[in-house]
Amino acid sequence: MISVDEALALVLDSVAPLGLERVSILNARGRVLGEELRSPRDIPGFDNSAMDGYAVRSAEVAAAAENRPVRLAVIETIAAGMMPAKTVGPGQAARIMTGAPVPEGADAIVPVERTRGDGSAVEILAAAEPAAFVRPRGEDLRRGETVLSPGRILTAADLGTLASLNRAMVYAYRRPRVAIIATGDELVDVDQVPTGSQVINSSAYSLFGAIEAAGGEPVMLGIAPDDPAEIRARLKQAAGFDMALSTGGVSAGDFDHVKGMLDELGMRELFHGVAQRPGRPLKYGLVDGRPFFGLPGNPVSTMVCFFVYARAALRKMAGASALGLPRLQVRCAVDFPKPKNLTEFARVKLEREGEAWMARPTGNQSSGALSSLSKADALLIGPAGENPLKAGSELTALLLDYGAVADTGAFLEARPRRHID
């Protein structure tokens, strides 16, 4: 068996980013940008007011105060979306709204709160420095400036920036379409109550959500019973996708047909078996040049292998540069038993104690206990050379719940006492 890092290297070396496609900015959040974008003009394209108030000549109001008001004639009112019609001359001011262009002759804005009166004249009650409350042309972006670069994962704010560049469509890396196949006579779907030795096909739904979260497009191909012909047909269908994931049938049992059927389809196997727990029977290779993961059948093994290997491959194919799960240095809160010479991925909860994050097991660490993964904030990495993992030792954890190490309270300073019933 190969090590986890050797397996990951083989996976990542075998995949490459997919091609680009044009997408609407309404569908672009979370996509990986595939082109460099430069500003076609200065943004904003004119000096404009940051406040409702009056556009003035700063030199004329340099000595203004409440007990020494400067009286100016109001020559026009400029609303946002209007162009000024007049030049502000000596002894004059223009009433102006937020976002409106600053008229010729004026070089500062006095907020309306620092003035008295409106109509044909205004009294200025406070001095204004040159450029006060004026947003200059090009304050946000200059013409020709690089705004967004290839490889960026587009955020909600980026969509507004794209709109400001008049880009309704952008080139983004294509999202990988990922086939999900479950195998096994024992499996039934979510709408069927299991009887006897049947179990619900839970892994496929976990994979569906994980693929979506990683930026892929999951497609369920259903359950294939333990029949070579059925499995061959389903695997052949999956080979037409950008990536395929099967669950079960990769061990050495009499009914584990996936391995043999993949060989019949001409899979170029890169490895079968990784020195880890859970997920040791993982099989990986290429079918017609496309990545195919033969995931173990136990649900936790399935998901651990996805998070460590398939997710990283999917992210690379989607054009991303950040491939792995976020990681955090933590301390073991208790002793963790683990097998010799295997890398352990333990499901843990994280709790802050002083300056350290403490990792505690979520309970039963069986590879069939999917609830232990639902309860987990992270996967604690137990190095192959350590056995057991000792309480107090510092290790790396892969974050499954990004909010687990963040304060996600809504209030910013102090919760107000008054509230609306």
Domain ranges of the chain: 4-16+175-317, 20-39+150-173, 48-135, 327-405
Arithmetic mean of pLDDT, 117-128: 92
pLDDT of residue 226: 79
Instruction: State the pLDDT confidence band at 156, using cuts at 50, 70 and 90.
Output: very high
Q: State mean pLDDT over 59-74.
A: 96
Q: Among 319, 243, 322, 320, which Cα is nearest to 20's?
A: 319
Of 259, 183, 185, residue with least CA distance to 222:
183
Question: Which residues are 173's β-sheet partners?
Answer: 20
What fold does the segment set 4-16+175-317 form as a domain? Molybdenum Cofactor Biosythetic Enzyme; Chain A (3.40.980)
pLDDT reported for residue 412: 84
- Model confidence at 21: pLDDT above 90: yes
Predicted local confidence at residue 103, as pLDDT: 98
Is 65 in contact with 48 (CB distance < 8 Å)?
no
Instruction: Report which of 173, 280, 192, 292 is spatially closest to residue 242, judged by C-alpha positions.
Output: 292
Residue 59 has pLDDT above 80, yes or no: yes
CA-CA distance, 59 to 108, in Å (whole number)?
A: 9
Mean pLDDT of 21-42: 97
* C-alpha span between 323 and 379 (Å, rounded): 16
pLDDT of residue 16: 96
Read off φ and ψ for residue 345, nearest 5 degrees.
-115, 95
- The per-residue pLDDT for 419 is 60
Q: Greater confidence, 42 or 337?
A: 42
Distance in angstroms (rounded) separating the CA atoms of residues 315 and 404: 22
Portion of the chain with pLDDT greater than 90, in percent: 73
pLDDT at 311: 97
Please check whether the domain covering 327-405 is classified as CATH 2.40.340.10.
Answer: yes
Which of 203-217, 255-269, 305-319, 342-356 comes out lowest in average pLDDT?
255-269
* For residues 57-81, average pLDDT: 97
Q: Once rounded to an integer, what is the mean pLDDT over residues 210-225?
A: 92
pLDDT band at 34 (very low <50, low <70, confident <90, very high): very high
pLDDT (tens digit per residue) in 218-272: 999 988 887 888 888 888 888 889 999 998 766 555 445 677 778 888 889 999 9
Determine the Cα–Cα distance for residues 233 and 236; give it in Å rounded to an integer: 5
Confidence band, pLDDT 50/70/90 cuts, at residue 398 = very high
Q: Does residue 320 register a pLDDT over 60?
A: yes
The domain covering 20-39+150-173 belongs, at the CATH homologous superfamily level, to Molybdopterin biosynthesis moea protein, domain 2 (3.90.105.10)
> 48-135 has which fold?
Molybdopterin biosynthesis moeA protein; domain 3 (2.170.190)
**Higher-confidence position of 188 and 131:** 131
Output 9 or 406, whichever has higher pLDDT: 9
What's the Cα-to-Cα distance from 273 to each of 111, 163, 182, 238, 278, rounded to whole Å? Answer: 71, 49, 19, 22, 11
Percent of residues, the chain, with pLDDT higher than 70: 97
Is the pLDDT at 19 greater than 80? The verdict is yes
Query: Average model confidence (pLDDT) for the chain?
Result: 91
The strand pairing partners of 108, in sequence order, are 56
Task: Judge whether residue 315 has pLDDT over 90.
Answer: yes
